[in-house]
Chains A and B, each alone.
Chain A
Amino acid sequence: MPLLIKRLLFFAALFVLWESVYHLNLVYSFWSPTLFPSPSGAVSQLYIGFFETGILRVAFSESMGRIFTGFILAVLIGGALGITLAVSRLADETLGSLVIALQPVPSIVWLPIALMMFQGGSSAILFVVVLGGTWAMTLNMRMGIKNVQPLLIRAARTMDYKGAELIWKVMIPASVPAALTGARLAWAFGWRALMAAELIGRGGLGRTLMDARDFYNMDLVVAIMFIISAVGLAVEYLFFSRVERKVLRRWGLQEKGSGR
């Protein structure tokens, strides 16, 4: 049986099972029916939220705007920091240890400080998203630059490349695969951090999810969780995996035809 069919059948079965439990619950009430979401209810909330009331459309575009800005900033800051750590020993020995110390701190932990610093609001959430992605990008970029094949650098030196030019024209392009891994992680951490921050902060899918809970609209809560999962899947698997496969092949890091 093809993989796609297997998966479709599995999810259909899950849907049916969940829906039947929901209907049983309506009859026997072993759990408060207002607090029990149904998959069909969630789907209809998706439709209503996007095409009738528009609350999901607004929340979705707000979250997407934030993750997009945050992701770009994390990649730029992390990339620049990673390059600095890789080429300067002094920076690596001092700033590098700070990065390593900060890296295990979940970025949501920064939210209280960020809310104070930015007087609440969107900038605080953006700050948390950027911090969520920056360290992964930094460490991967640093590794990428450090692991550039010495032979490529030697070859470039025989062609009169040196100093900044060597970094810009050889080391950075050569570490694109590592940078891509960093970017993928920055996106994943950033997306998770964004949802956490929005639950506490203002606007976006996370806030709408909390609002839905406050109105006991569990179908809407589940609908938003569907969206969060779908965005994560789409970006991680459809976008990053494809780009990564192409890059790895061109950079000669993956055998032809051995795609995942």
Chain B
Amino acid sequence: MIELGIVIRNVSKTFCSAEGDRTSTEVFSDINLEIGHGEFVTLLGPSGCGKSTLLNITAGLEEATEGSVTVDGRLVQGPGADRGVVFQEAALMPWLSVRGNVLFAVKKKLSAEEAGRRADHYLKMVHLSRFADAYPHELSGGMKQRTAIARALAMDPAILLMDEPFGALDEQTRTLLHRQLLEIWKQTEKTIVFVTHNIRESLLLSDRIVLMGARPGGIREVISVELGHPRNPLDKEFAALERRILDLLSDEISKVAKEEYGDAFAD
């Protein structure tokens, strides 16, 4: 039977520090997770828990030490246009205009005419039509990130993998982009996997929150967020969930701090 969506099976990741060096660091081991079509899932956790590594393995940019990731039954063996990726930095090609950057993603597979139509469509979706001819160095951080999102969407992937995409933006821009991302998600019905260390961000956006911890790395808990959009942080249920995640995370944080600072860190 073909399993639909993203299926992460017994995935472990160990980094070897150097060639021939026997000391190695285990990021996480034995991770199991299933993400259905059209779902919006966030991977939430403190730094060092391997949430970005897990995303990169799903993207095919890194290899799992053990286990496998399948997308609609197909084994992930490398990056592919069926999984669009948005990084924390926009990673735009500086020599291409905004439109050129979006075209860059699609002109390999589509006719020039169709690629152009696609680019214009998604630039409109991220509200960047007016800046189609601008170059990345002329854009603000939020605009760069919107271009990166349009570029990922233009390939029309079933899955959008986002690695702290709004982490480097200011609060207002981030709020605006949250709203836009939810609109895009509703319009396109993509599966979105979103990495963040921001509790509120994960609660505002996702259907499910996968809470990850460090040392040993792994999934601590999976929390369903059954709230309608738009969500209000002042809402009672929202606040209760936030409280609960904060409690779970503060255990993780103090654990990491103890290891890093030794006994000097007392709780």
- Chain A positions within 8 Å of B, measured between CB atoms, are 149, 151-152, 154-161, 169-170, 173-174, 176, 249-252, 256
Contact with A along B57-68 (1 / 0, CB 8 A): 001110000000
Contacts of B136 in A (CB 8 A): 252
Which residues of B are in contact with A by a Cβ distance under 8 Å?
A: 59-61, 78-81, 83-85, 87, 89, 91, 93-95, 104-105, 108-109, 135-137, 151-152, 155
Of the candidates B59, B60, B93, B155, which one forms a contact with A170 in the assembled complex, judged by CB atoms under 8 Å apart?
Answer: B93
Who on chain A is nearest to B104 by CB?
Answer: A159
Q: Do the beta carbons of B95 and A157 come within 8 Å of each other? A: no
In the complex, what's the smallest C-beta–C-beta distance from A187 to chain B, in angstroms? 22
User: Which residues on the A side are within 8 Å of B83 (C-beta)?
Assistant: 158
- A156: B residues at CB distance < 8 A: 104
A149, A151, A159: the one contacting B155 at CB < 8 Å is A159
Given A157-B61, A160-B81, decide whether A251 and B95 contact each other with a Cβ distance below 8 A.
yes
Whether A252 contacts B137 by the Cβ 8 Å rule is: yes
B151: A residues at CB distance < 8 A:
159
Q: Report the Cα distance A159→B79, complex, angstroms.
A: 8
> Are B87 and A154 neighbours in the complex by a CB distance under 8 Å?
yes
Chain A residues with CB under 8 Å of B93's CB are 152, 170, 173-174
Whether A151 contacts B87 by the Cβ 8 Å rule is yes
Q: How far is the CB of A202 from chain B (nearest CB, A)?
A: 42
Report whether B91 and A151 are in contact in the complex, using a CB–CB cutoff of 8 Å: yes
Would you call A152 and B91 a contact (CB within 8 A)?
yes
Residue ID in chain A nearest B62 by CB atoms: A154
User: For residue A152, which residue of chain B has the nearest CB?
Assistant: B91
Asked whether, in the complex, the Cβ of B87 is within 8 Å of the Cβ of A160, the reply is: no
Which one, B79, B89, B108, contacts A158 given CB within 8 A?
B79
A250–B83 alpha-carbon span in the complex (Å): 29
B137–A154 CB distance below 8 A: no
Contacts of B79 in A (CB 8 A): 154, 157-158, 160
